[in-house]
Amino acid sequence: MLQLQVDQLTKTYGSNLALNGFSYTFTEGVYGLLGPNGAGKSTLMNLLTDNLLPSSGVVRYNGQPINKLGKKFLKVLGYMPQQQGIYDTFTAERFLYYIAALKGLKKKEADVQIPHLLSLVNLQAERYKKLGNFSGGMKQRILIAQALIGDPEVLILDEPTAGLDPKERIRIRNLISEISFNKIVLVATHVVTDIEYIAKEVLLLKKGKLIDSGSPYRLSNALQGVVFELQTTSDQLPEVAQHYKIGNIAKDVGHITIRIVSDEKPELYTYNEVKPTLEDLYLYRFDTEDLE
């Protein structure tokens, strides 16, 4: 069994604790790393991919510290960074050959893997197109393909659905699920639906600290009794917003339904208790100013 063990990992920037004593053990499967902007997701990913040095703590892969494993660890690692510095003048195929060379693959190995990866991410017809002419979704897919070169055991994906429309999001989500067999896959996101259905475990990061973790089912179930739907009118919305953390608002003729999370029952309104979701948990655990 593969094992990535993170032990008391800490990173400070001056007095800013970007990551604060993070510990977790990852095995095969998809993990969702969830937190608002600035929570420390990218910092954790950069530490795991050896792009940053920790202030303290250690990461072990199958029992060996990754800084001792050095290149051996980088060989089993696939990393999809946030979209930036993509090579606009490269064609899709050339980009993959370039990354394969950087990863130290022999040309023959690349010749076998690249057509397979292009077809996996459904870009074979676009292989001679320049990345500069790619749509957001196509760019994300080519970035996933490059992360998969060399068949990595550990795959780290930073905001894989950033800037995509709902259809593309679903496509990327299914793709992640498809490729996760026999791998440790970490997906950082602030979009709950990206990982709700595909993650075996979800980790909640807040201000550099791991504040909760578990299966989506366990995490959302723990919220039983604090999620409600209120039947009210638009005029009462400001008042409700003052007292409660609001999720969905559904407007109908003459009334609205407001989904709230609250430790106390909203006795002043007509309400139903409803089944919690991971989205509710996100709302519950993060402050309103953390949310976009």
Q: Which residues bind ligand ATP (CB under 6 A)?
A: 13, 16, 18, 35, 37-43, 190
Instruction: Tell me how far, at minimum, the Cβ of 282 lies from ligand ATP, in Å.
Output: 14
Specify the residue, 15 or 288, whose C-beta has the smaller distance to ligand ATP. Answer: 15
Instruction: Tell me how far, at minimum, the Cβ of 187 lies from ligand ATP, in Å.
Output: 13
Instruction: Tell me how far, at minimum, the Cβ of 19 lies from ligand ATP, in Å.
Output: 7
| Torsions phi, psi for 215 (to 5 deg) | -70, 150
Specify the residue, 43 or 277, whose C-beta has the smaller distance to ligand ATP. Answer: 43
Instruction: Tell me how far, at minimum, the Cβ of 46 lies from ligand ATP, in Å.
Output: 8
Instruction: Tell me how far, at minimum, the Cβ of 11 lies from ligand ATP, in Å.
Output: 8
Specify the residue, 13 or 217, whose C-beta has the smaller distance to ligand ATP. Answer: 13
Specify the residue, 228 or 286, whose C-beta has the smaller distance to ligand ATP. Answer: 286
Specify the residue, 81 or 266, whose C-beta has the smaller distance to ligand ATP. Answer: 81
